[in-house]
Amino acid sequence: MMMFNDKQKATPRRGHRWHACAIALLAGLGMADAAQACVKEWHVPRTEHKVIDTYPTDRERHMGQLAWAFTFDGCVQYDPFDVDVRFEMPGMTYVGEITFKGITYPAFEANPEAPLMIFLFQEVVGFPELPMRPGITYPYRVGAMSSVPTFNPTFNLRPQYFSRGGRMRSYASTGRLVWNVARFPHLDGELTLDHSFTFPAVTCPLQDKAETLQDVQTAELAVPGSTAKEKLVAIRMDCGVDPPRARMTLSDAGDAGNTGSQLTPTADSDAEGVRVQLLRGGAEVQFGQTWEFDPGVGGVHDHQFTARYIRTNEALVPGTIKGEAVLNVDYW
């Protein structure tokens, strides 16, 4: 009897210990899962636009930075994890090395007249900076330096830009910053990297020009379409020592919608059946059409046109015919 009772008492104790171990194990699994999670990712889309009124011409002078950021909320310190980050910026070309705050970084340019740039990625200011190259994926460890149970890591891509040692031109570009978290896919995301630089443009004074064509006889304009008395008209542009870059448009002062080559007669014109026509490079102009002007050197530049009479379909009436054209120059 006594031996039988001892066995009955031993069995519940073994069962009790087994249940206690199972409860402790489940609680431990719950803690490990919570320690690995961040609640969510968030970021604020933004466009970086830098207007530079003056800029240094000595090469590699630091001029400022751009900045984009994203944040993970409610992360737990106990188990650090990696974030894979990559940025893409089409057209960026490696051009050498730049030393910034005592550290040497790879430098890039968007074009031969754009600022020199380095790209730095880090988790909040003061943490280690990771130099990045466009198109390459980098792992970044999150949480390893945190000393609090929960934290909200914020990550920054901060391109630094530098003088290239000569005149720089305005430009705009778009890229993207992409991040992936293999352990927590709900934190994956990307940012659009819209940015632009505006530098002072080289502008050139233009001189107004008035030309008078020789008188023409009725016989010289006998039929519609006939022309006479061609004369060169040159608009002078004085650009100084710096080479300009511009988009140029010729328009009819009397009719902004005119896309032909014949000027609208001014209000004080009294001749009929004839107009003033403009040519450029031997061909009839097309008012409103834009062309590029990029001579590569400064100095004086003459923009040459040819003016002439042209007979229209109306009957000829003697008198004076006048027309005005406007040369618009958009520097960049």
Amino acid letter at 234? A
**Helices and strands of the chain, counted as H and E runs:** 1, 22
CA distance 274 to 226: 10
Dist CA 25 CA 28 (whole Å)? 5
The lowest-confidence range among 86-95, 201-210, 223-232, 249-258 is 201-210
Contacts of 150 (CB under 8 A, 6+ apart): 74, 75, 76, 77
Residues with Cβ within 8 Å of residue 273, at least 6 apart in sequence: 221, 311, 312, 313, 314, 315, 316, 317
pLDDT band at 19 (very low <50, low <70, confident <90, very high): very low
289 token code pair: 């059409």
Question: Residue 224: is its pLDDT beyond 50?
Answer: yes
Mean of pLDDT over the chain? 85
218-331 is classed in which CATH architecture? Sandwich (2.60)
Q: Are β-strands 75-76 and 47-51 bridged in parallel, bridged antiparallel, or unpaired? A: unpaired
The pTM of the whole model exceeds 0.85? no
Residues 332/170/195/50 CA torsion (nearest 10 deg)? -110
The percent of residues above 90 in pLDDT, for the chain, comes to: 65
Supply the CATH classification number for the domain 37-198.
2.60.40
Confidence of residue 126 (pLDDT cuts 50, 70, 90): low
Does residue 285 have a pLDDT over 80?
Answer: yes
pLDDT, average across residues 27-42: 57
**CA–CA dist 131, 151 (Å, integer):** 24
Q: CA 220 to CA 207: how far, in whole Å?
A: 32
The pLDDT tens digits of the residues spanning 302-319 come to 999 999 999 999 999 999
Average pLDDT over residues 233-241: 91
> Which pair of tokens denotes residue 310?
């042209």
C-alpha–C-alpha distance, residues 152 and 39, integer Å = 10
pLDDT bracket for residue 18 (50, 70, 90): very low
pLDDT in the model for residue 78 = 67
- Cα(266)–Cα(323) distance, integer angstroms: 6
Q: How confident is the model at residue 34 (pLDDT cuts 50, 70, 90)?
A: very low
Please list the helix, strand and coil fractions of the chain in percent, rounded to the nearest 5, in that order: 10, 45, 45
Rounded to an integer, the average pLDDT of 22-42 is 51
**Angle made by CA atoms 56, 59, 62, in degrees to the nearest 5:** 65
Quickly list DSSP for 314-326.
Answer: SPPB-S-----EE
Ranges in the chain annotated CATH 2.60.40.1090: 218-331
pLDDT value for 20:
37
